[in-house]
Structure formats: C-alpha cells, structure tokens
Amino acid sequence: MTEVQKHQPGMFCWVELAAKDGPAAKKFYKSLFDWGVDDIPNDAGVYSMVQKKGKNAGGLYEQGPQGQGIPPHWNSYICVDNADETAEKAKKLGGNVILGPFDVMEHGRMAVILDPAGAAFSLWQPKDHPGAAVVNEPSSFCWNELYTTDVKKVGDFYANLFGWSREPMPTPMGEYTVFKKGDAQAAGMMQITKEMTGMPPHWMVYFAVDDSDRTVEKAKGMGALVMVPPTDIPNIGRFAILNDPQGADFAVIRLQMPPQS
C-alpha cells in the first residue's frame, strides 16, 4: 500500500459520510470494507476517521440538528490552494457558496459549494490534514462522478473553476465526460436521463473493491439496496451502485487498472 502524502490542487482529496445514525453507519462500513475507525470527539459530537491498515481513507459523522431534512449522503472534497479565492470564483461562475469558507481547527480550511445545477461539493485547503492517505486501492475511494441536468453549463463551470479539460467517452447509457487535470483523470460526468427521473444532481463516490459481486452480496445481507447490479464497463472494470441502510448512495468497482493520477 502506497501512502499519499499530498493531493494536487484540482483533484479530489477526501470523502466523508454524513449519516443519520453514526454508530450504525460505522458498523455497516467497517464490516463492508474492513475499515478501522479512529473516533475524534469535538464540540459537535464525534468525527470518525475511517482507515485502511491505519491510513486515513475518509471520514464519517452523525448529522446534528442542522442536518435535519438533509438525507444521509457522501460528501466529496476537492483540493485547492486557497479556499477563499476559489469560493469567490465559484460564485462569479454561477455557483452558490452555502457554507464557509471556514477553518477546521488546524487541519485545513473548507467551503461547501452548490454548482449551477445544484450538486454539492466541498473545497479543501490543506494545512495539517492533506486528505486521504490511501486512494485507488481496495477499500478506498477511487473515483468521483457527477450526475447533472446540464452537462454543458455545469461542465463549463468546473472547467473554469479548476482548470479541468473534458474528454467525451461513448457508453451504452449515453455520452460520458471524463474531466482531466493535465494528464490526470480528475472525475466523470453524465447527464441525468429520463430513466433517472427524480434523481437530483449530485456527486457519487466510487470505492475500489477486490470483488464487486461479493461486496454487493455482503452489502445486501446487511440491509443495503442494489440500485445498479454488478455490471461490466469494457476496459474499466465491474461496478455496482448501492444505497446503504440509511439511504446514502455509493458505488463499488473492481478496477482493471486504477485511474491515472
């Protein structure tokens, strides 16, 4: 396992679950991904670092009163050099800053943004906490994928905000966009289709696994719902989309090879 020391600006660096029931969520994901958990008490309750072999892979917390009415969900963080400047730029490009920027103790500075179609993501300006110490390996996040109602408008937003280029890729479900930061693959994007009626714009987190089918069966046995069954993506891997017992969507994938970074 290679430890990640630093994430490049414009690349996803952290994922975090906002759960309705923190202990239940920890039990589910610890069993599913064989994660360790480091609980860190704070003024708002407990923030849990989920770990693979002692290395931070993501975070988890229980939603407080301020989270009432917001369904459980996975948050995706993008590394930036300056959270304040990036948040201000996002506003000028048509985004909406709904939280921050603010300091997270000595760990870093963050802000929560809604893109022009309403999908939420977070900015992370690292200080003592660089982000995930392990990525693109089984039981860690390996991809972030945007479902949106306007690929052109939203694609322009992210391209201008983070300097991402766009590379189209045809799929059986329609055209897929790969965002790139230089030569590195940064994320994916696809249009919400009529078959997805009712789905709000959002970022989906993918976790790498050794066996997608086995992981799906294990998740089902613990109360998860299968939204997309294990499906092969030619030359990419075998993926599935799950809905955890509290209602948070996430994806798992057995990669043929990890994304370029």
Same domain for 121 and 160, yes or no, is no
Same domain for 27 and 92, yes or no, is yes
Same domain for 34 and 78, yes or no, is yes
Same domain for 57 and 26, yes or no, is yes
Same domain for 87 and 150, yes or no, is no
d(CA 101, CA 234): 40
d(CA 143, CA 246): 22
Same domain for 20 and 103, yes or no, is yes
Place of tokens 């690349």: 11
6 within domain boundaries:
no
Same domain for 103 and 156, yes or no, is no
Q: What is the mean pLDDT of residues 114-136?
A: 96
Same domain for 164 and 110, yes or no, is no
135 within domain boundaries:
no
Distances (CA, A) of 26 to 124, 174, 223: 24, 36, 14
Q: Which domain holds residue 68?
A: 12-126
**How many structural domains are present in the chain?**
2
CATH of the domain at 231: 3.10.180.10
Confirm whether pTM is higher than 0.75.
yes
pLDDT band (50, 70, 90) for residue 68: low
Question: How would you class 169 by CB atoms within 10 Å of its CB: exposed for 0-12, middle for 13-18, buried for 19 or more?
Answer: exposed
Tally of CB atoms within 10 A around 214: 13
Distances (CA, A) of 213 to 98, 187, 209: 38, 24, 10
- Give CA torsion, residues 216, 219, 224, 226, to 10 deg: 0
Q: What is the mean pLDDT of residues 167-181?
A: 86
Same domain for 41 and 101, yes or no, is yes
Tally of CB atoms within 10 A around 223: 12
97 within domain boundaries:
yes
Tens digits of per-residue pLDDT, 5-64? 899 999 999 999 999 999 999 999 999 999 999 999 887 788 999 999 999 999 999 987
Place of tokens 């799929």: 171
7 within domain boundaries:
no
160 within domain boundaries:
yes
Tens digits of per-residue pLDDT, 193-205? 877 777 899 999 9
% of residues, the chain, pLDDT over 70 = 95
Which DSSP string corresponds to the chain?
A: -PPP----TTSEEEEEEEESSHHHHHHHHHHHHT-EEEEEEETTEEEEEEEETTEEEEEEEE--GGGTTSPPEEEEEEE-S-HHHHHHHHHHTT-EEEEEEEEETTTEEEEEEE-TTS-EEEEEEESS--S-S--SSTTSEEEEEEEES-HHHHHHHHHHHH--EEEEEEETTEEEEEEEETTEEEEEEEEPPGGGTTPPPEEEEEEE-S-HHHHHHHHHHTT-EEEEEEEEETTTEEEEEEE-TTS-EEEEEEESSPPP-
- The per-residue pLDDT of the chain, averaged, comes to 92
d(CA 203, CA 224): 19
Q: 67 pLDDT exceeds 80?
A: no
Per-residue tokens: 191: 């249009």
3 within domain boundaries:
no
Q: Which of 6-20, 76-90, 160-174, 233-247 shows the lowest per-residue confidence on average (mean pLDDT)? A: 160-174
Q: From 94, 126, 158, give the residue that closes a domain.
A: 126
Q: From 61, 94, 126, give the residue that closes a domain.
A: 126
d(CA 253, CA 211): 8
Q: From 95, 126, 157, give the residue that closes a domain.
A: 126
Q: What is the mean pLDDT of residues 63-79?
A: 85
99 within domain boundaries:
yes
192 within domain boundaries:
yes
d(CA 21, CA 63): 8
Same domain for 16 and 88, yes or no, is yes
Same domain for 188 and 246, yes or no, is yes
Same domain for 21 and 115, yes or no, is yes
Q: 69 pLDDT exceeds 80?
A: no
